[in-house]
Structures are given as C-alpha cells and as structure tokens.
Structure 1
C-alpha cells in the first residue's frame, strides 16, 4: 500500500476547493435573483422601463440624448435594421459616430469598446464607452 504524500494531499485539497468554487459559481449563475448591479434590459438608471417594443418582442430601452463628459451621446431604436439587427435594433451615437452595440440573450448590452463588460442599458454602454475612450475619437467600423 502506498502512503499519502504531502504533495498528493495538497493536490487533492486544491482539486476539491476548485470544484467547490466552480459549483458555487454555477449555482450563482443559475440563481433567479439578478446579479449585483445588473438590471433587466429596458430599465434606465432609475429602474423605469422604456416605452416601445423592439423586433424581438421585448421592451425597448428608452431613447436618450445628453452631453456626458463633454461628449454628445444619443441612443434610440434603430430605423431599418442597418446591420441585420445584430445590435438589438438600437442605435447609439457618440459625437454623431455610431457605436456598435449588441444585446445579449440575458438582456444585458455590450459594445465594441467594452466587449467583455455587460451593461443594463445602451445608455450605460454609451457612458462607459465615453469613459473608456478617454477623449479619443470613435472610429466607425467599416
């Protein structure tokens, strides 16, 4: 019979801890409660839902037009689906240039500037893009 070495014991412990961590993450991901800081699509920063329906039958986010950190950001439901509807039927502009946005299956939004960070509304995506650009000009995609 072989004895349990320290190295084997540490390996078994690390594997068990990693498994528990993954199980906890999976449980949190399947929870019915919304994640901290994530609001359902269609709610603005005050928790109000916007009017109208988008092409998927969900509540469309409310239009916005404001100057944020010296940049004009605008957003409204897209007219005509210029890009095949891949951005949820919503158009966001920063200083008149289109910021490509997309709605995820869970109702959150992403942009080409913040592709790995999700936001509750296109308005929040636009503001985050302005912060991320740090004054740089948004270059339209071809």
Structure 2
C-alpha cells in the first residue's frame, strides 16, 4: 500500500480545515439568527405549527398564520408582507426558508419574514405567479 504524497496530505488537511471553518461559521450564524435548537428541530418544542404573528418590522407590516399557505411546501402556513404573500417552505430539519432568503434557513416563519424585509430594502414584494 502506497503512502500519500505530501501534496495529497496537504490537500486533505486544507480541505478538512476549510470544512471545519465553514461548519463553525454556519453554526455561529445560526446561533446569531435564532436557528432552532436540536429540540426545536426535532419538533418536540412546540408540538405544532408556529404561532401566528402580526407586527410592524422596519416600517413593513408582517403577518403569519397557520392554515392558509401553500399546503405542499409551507405546511399550511402563510406569511404576508404588506398584504402580499411571501412564499415560504419548511425544510425537513424544521427550519424555514422563503424565495427571498432561500439559502438562509431560519427558525420560524416570523424570522423568515423579518429577514425578507431586511433583504427587500424597501422594495415591494412581487408575487411569484
């Protein structure tokens, strides 16, 4: 059995370090953004749909309620920004995403709505179809 070359060993080490750095930064970002704990991810924290909300965030009215969203993606949860629907989806791990922050899973639909408002920077939400 041949031993790895120095170049192969350095490449494997660099890849491992990069992966650990990425995982660490993702964990830190999740903690800062309010990503769910393992208990919340497993669904044992609330035993049901996220609670409804209606608030003004950065001058925009955000609303969320169970039972009126896209049943095939959002689990029947609807989020609106200034009365316009924000398409959301619940991931298998219990986190939520929207079309605006698709690569930034968050703990709750409220957090997704707030992140969307920040990302929109005052622009109007345009319907998907």
TM-score range, shorter chain: 0.7 to 0.9
* 1:38 is aligned to 2:35: yes
Which residue does the alignment assign to 2:15? 18
Tell me the distance in 1 between the aligned counterparts of 2:71 and 2:56.
29
Scaled by the length of structure 1, what TM-score is found?
Answer: 0.67
- Supply the RMSD in Å over aligned alpha carbons: 2.9
- Deviation, 1:84, is 4.1
CA offset digits 1:98-141 (Å, max 9, x no partner) = 00000000000000000000100000000000000000000011
Q: How many residues are treated as equivalent by the alignment?
A: 113
Which residue does the alignment assign to 2:6? 9
Bigger fraction of residues in helix: 2
Which residue does the alignment assign to 1:109? 96
Within 5 Å, give how 1:1-142 maps onto structure 2: 9-19=6-16, 22=19, 36=31, 37-39=34-36, 40=40, 49=46, 58-79=47-68, 83-142=70-129
Tell me the distance in 2 between the aligned counterparts of 1:140 and 1:78.
19
> Over alpha carbons, which structure has the higher Rg?
1
For residues 84 and 75 of structure 1, do their structure 2 counterparts lie closer, same or farther at Cα, with a shift above 3 Å needed? closer
Instruction: List structure 1 segments (4+ residues) > 6 angstroms apart after TM superposition.
Output: none
Scaled by the length of structure 2, what TM-score is found?
Answer: 0.74
Gaps of 5+ in 1: 1-7, 29-34, 50-57
Tell me the distance in 2 between the aligned counterparts of 1:96 and 1:74.
8
